[in-house]
Amino acid sequence: MQVIFESNWSWMLFEEESDFYFSVVCGSSAIFVRELKLSEEEVLAFQNNGESALDDIASAVRYRPQHFDDRHIKGLSTRDDVRAAILDWQTNHGAKR
């Protein structure tokens, strides 16, 4: 697992083998995250349009997080490999935006 892109306090994109996982910061007074595996359509949009596609996906998740409940991966950010990937990213890249 590795972090490949981040928009600070908005979203973080992870890659593991050929899968992409997306963590989106949601809420205003109560902050929470929705973490999901990107669909084939979303991966294609990212490959074609880069970070702007990720911003669009994040906006959709943030606007209606309940629509992504069935795709939410509970506990993703607490996995040891994910925590190590985040630490590595923060150490070597810091926040991008």
Residue 94 pLDDT greater than 80, yes or no: no
Q: How far is CA 10 from CA 17, 18, 52, in A?
A: 24, 23, 13
Task: Report the pLDDT averaged over residues 12-16.
Answer: 96
Q: Distance between CA atoms of 77 and 70, rounded to whole angstroms?
A: 17
Question: Cβ of 97: how many Cβ atoms within 10 Å?
Answer: 10
Are 12 and 44 within 8 A, CB to CB?
no
| Adjacent-strand bridge partners of 11 | 7, 24
Give tens-digit pLDDT for 40-87.
Answer: 999 999 999 999 999 999 999 999 999 999 999 999 989 999 999 999
- The residue type of 37 is K
For 5, the 3-state DSSP assignment is strand
